[in-house]
Amino acid sequence: MARPSRPHRWIWSAVSGVVAAAVFLAVAEVLVPLTSPGGGPIVAVGGFVIDVVPRPLKEFAISTFGENDKPALLIGLGLAVLVAAALAGILQYVRRPLGVVLLAFAGILSLLASVTRAGAGALSWIPSAAGTLVGSLVLILLIARLRAWVAASAEPVPQIPENPAAPKPTAAVSRRVFFRTTAVIGTTAVLAGLGARLISAATSSVSAIRDELNLPAPRTTVTVPDGAELGVDGLSPLITPNPDFYRVDTALVVPTIDPASWRLVIDGMVDQRVELSLDDLLAMGLDEYAITLTCVSNEVGGDLVGNAIWLGIPVRDLLAQAGPQQGADMVLSRSVDGYTASTPLESLTDDDLDAILAVGMNGEPLPAEHGFPVRMVVPGLYGYVSATKWLTQLTVTTFADDEAYWTPRGYSAKAPIKMSSRIDTPRIGTPVSAGTVPIAGMAWAQTVGIEQVEVSIDDGEWQPATLSAPLNDDTWVQWKLEWDATPGTHYVTARAVDADGNRQIEERAPIYPNGSTGWQRLLITVT
């Protein structure tokens, strides 16, 4: 029996650290459903990271990973935990009790993230605290066993036991003890952690409740006019199906809200604080509204824009119940996860603007990722200043006194959507055959409407495109132009004009701080 060589000791101490971290997470996972239903240490730390990462990094994450930005964050976080855990094991081996100190430090960070999270309860500290305690004990135990094994390996292998009654543990025995302890604890942690996860997923009944929720029929519906779809291959549909609708938010896990206990509070500078249940809201009567939602992070030509038929109630009717007071100029809408948006009060009280609280999206209750049970949608304002999902509070206030989630992060407090147009087909990198090729796309100027879209080939004369029949001024329209494509490479550029006669801005602007501008220009190969 050889003494474990140095690399082996590094490896087994690192493994001990990883097992201790697994125990930490498993203990936390088991306790989360009992103590902090909003989510445990992983969600809290992930949420904390999302809130503190510098803006450019967040933009990089959205542009690199898109809709997968959250899985990417979780994988990154997982790798960081793995490295720190291995390090804690090695530290504990070479210099007791440094490994436990590192683990406790991580535990305190996760505890702080857990208790400061929006929606944290009085018991939210328990999973982190218990995980730290049990994880530390496991780390101490495993490293002690590893040391015993290493020490036993240093002894010469006894040929004839001098005192058979009390044999010293041999290297083989200590090795077995270490492996067995590590394997039993590691397996138990993985099974307990996964089991707790599965049970809580199976018993979280909100998706079942959502499936069964029967929303009242709308009093008025949206009529799609003839000619609203141009029927060009590769062109986005007029109404974006829910599964294809872009998703942007800071929520690492989608908040789950039981509609039976959901309340909307309207407070702040109001004559009377109002509190409504979902039934109160539904009893006000529902109507359908077609509104195109756009994200401030949408680059020229990007896909962070979608159009839905929302089922909802005008915000102005709700605000009227509370009575906004003189001097107020902003409504801070708040989500259950702490996210906030600042919307000009006048946009929400304007009789001619369909700012709504939506409960339905394209014929079904709001999908969980899109804000179930209630979200806000305001035509003409970027999502980050208007479209709060998982809504729970509307506070009437002023821009001078309050700011929303993105404001201290540098984005404008007020942000109307900028008119834009997009080429959906042909696509860059997908050559087309010479002959008649439809060029087609979408254009939007919410609240004003699109008057015209023009296309230029190889920077030549601007040609008017055919527009689809608009649903209303708050939604995008489709456009197309038949192009007599000749072999070679060609630049295709599109620009829009709104119903007020304003032309889409040519100058390129980045999404920061209040939305991109510029004309989309594609190089297309014709064969």
Ligand X SMILES: Nc1nc2c(c(=O)[nH]1)N[C@H]1C(S)=C(S)[C@@H](COP(=O)(O)O)O[C@H]1N2
CB of 299 to Mo ion, least distance (A): 12
CB of 308 to ligand X, least distance (A): 9
Q: Which does 277 bind (CB under 5 to 8 A by kind): Mo ion, ligand X, none?
A: none
CB of 250 to ligand X, least distance (A): 4
CB of 125 to ligand X, least distance (A): 24
Residue 167 is encoded by which pair of tokens? Answer: 């044999």
Task: Give contact residues for Mo ion (rule: CB under 5 A).
Answer: 248, 295-296, 383-384
Burial 448-465 (b: 16+ CB within 10 A, else e): bbbbbbbbbbeeeeeeeb
Contact 369, 316 (CB under 8 A): no
- Taking residues 282 to 321 in sequence order and writing x for each that binds ligand X by CB under 6 A, - otherwise, the string is -----------x-x--------------------------
Count of residues touching ligand X (by CB under 6 A): 19
Q: Which is nearer to ligand X, 181 or 393 (CB)?
A: 393
CB of 391 to ligand X, least distance (A): 8
For 59, the 3-state DSSP assignment is helix
Q: Which does 240 bind (CB under 5 to 8 A by kind): ligand X, Mo ion, none?
A: none
As to burial, measured by CB atoms within 10 angstroms (0-12 exposed, 13-18 middle, 19+ buried), residue 272 is exposed
Pairing of strands 391-397, 263-268: parallel
CB of 383 to Mo ion, least distance (A): 4
Q: Which does 389 bind (CB under 5 to 8 A by kind): Mo ion, ligand X, none?
A: ligand X
Task: Identify the residue among 9, 145, 175, 389 touching ligand X (CB under 6 A).
Answer: 389
Can you tell me the distance from the alpha carbon of 72 to that of 88, in angstroms, rounded to the nearest whole number? 24
Single out the residue of 34, 55, 29 nearest to residue 44, CA to CA. Answer: 29
Binders of ligand X among residues 324 to 383 (CB under 6 A) are 335, 337, 339, 370, 383
Cα radius of gyration (the chain): 30
Q: Which is nearer to ligand X, 185 or 361 (CB)?
A: 361
Q: Which is nearer to ligand X, 245 or 289 (CB)?
A: 245
CB of 252 to ligand X, least distance (A): 11
Q: Which is nearer to Mo ion, 16 or 294 (CB)?
A: 294
Contact 38, 116 (CB under 8 A): no
Q: Which is nearer to ligand X, 113 or 385 (CB)?
A: 385
**Chain residue at closest Cβ approach to ligand X:** 383
Q: Which does 149 bind (CB under 5 to 8 A by kind): Mo ion, ligand X, none?
A: none
Q: Which does 245 bind (CB under 5 to 8 A by kind): ligand X, Mo ion, none?
A: ligand X
Can you tell me the distance from the alpha carbon of 146 to that of 378, in angstroms, rounded to the nearest whole number? 62
Contact 468, 431 (CB under 8 A): no
As to burial, measured by CB atoms within 10 angstroms (0-12 exposed, 13-18 middle, 19+ buried), residue 221 is exposed
Can you tell me the distance from the alpha carbon of 243 to that of 409, in angstroms, rounded to the nearest whole number? 30
Q: Which is nearer to ligand X, 182 or 307 (CB)?
A: 307
Burial 312-324 (b: 16+ CB within 10 A, else e): bbbbbebbeebeb
CB of 293 to Mo ion, least distance (A): 9
Task: Identify the residue among 136, 174, 292, 388 touching ligand X (CB under 6 A).
Answer: 388
Question: Is residue 418 within the footprint of ligand X (CB under 6 A)?
Answer: no
Can you tell me the distance from the alpha carbon of 219 to that of 238, in angstroms, rounded to the nearest whole number? 23
Alpha helices in 254-390 (DSSP H): 278-283, 315-322, 345-349
Contact 206, 366 (CB under 8 A): no
If you write DSSP's letter for every residue of 417-437 in order, what string do you get?
PPPEEEEEES-TT--B-SEEE
Residues forming a β-bridge with 418 = none
CB of 79 to ligand X, least distance (A): 25
Other beta carbons within 10 Å of 263: 12
**Chain residue at closest Cβ approach to Mo ion:** 295
Q: Which is nearer to Mo ion, 306 or 344 (CB)?
A: 306
Binders of ligand X among residues 208 to 267 (CB under 6 A) are 245-251
Of all helices (H) and strands (E), which one includes residue 94?
A: helix 69-94
Other beta carbons within 10 Å of 506: 10
The position carrying tokens 């006019």 is 225
Q: Which is nearer to Mo ion, 446 or 468 (CB)?
A: 446
Question: Is residue 390 within the footprint of ligand X (CB under 6 A)?
Answer: yes
Question: Is residue 44 within the footprint of ligand X (CB under 6 A)?
Answer: no
Can you tell me the distance from the alpha carbon of 6 to that of 93, in angstroms, rounded to the nearest whole number? 12
Q: Which is nearer to ligand X, 114 or 298 (CB)?
A: 298
Q: Which does 249 bind (CB under 5 to 8 A by kind): ligand X, Mo ion, none?
A: ligand X
- At residue 73, φ and ψ (nearest 5 deg) are -65, -45
For 141, the 3-state DSSP assignment is helix
Q: Which is nearer to ligand X, 43 or 152 (CB)?
A: 43
CB of 300 to ligand X, least distance (A): 16
The position carrying tokens 């490994």 is 99
CB of 370 to ligand X, least distance (A): 4
Q: Which is nearer to ligand X, 384 or 519 (CB)?
A: 384
Q: Which is nearer to Mo ion, 153 or 292 (CB)?
A: 292
CB of 337 to ligand X, least distance (A): 6
- Chain contacts with ligand X (rule: CB under 6 A): 245-251, 293, 295, 335, 337, 339, 370, 383-384, 387-390
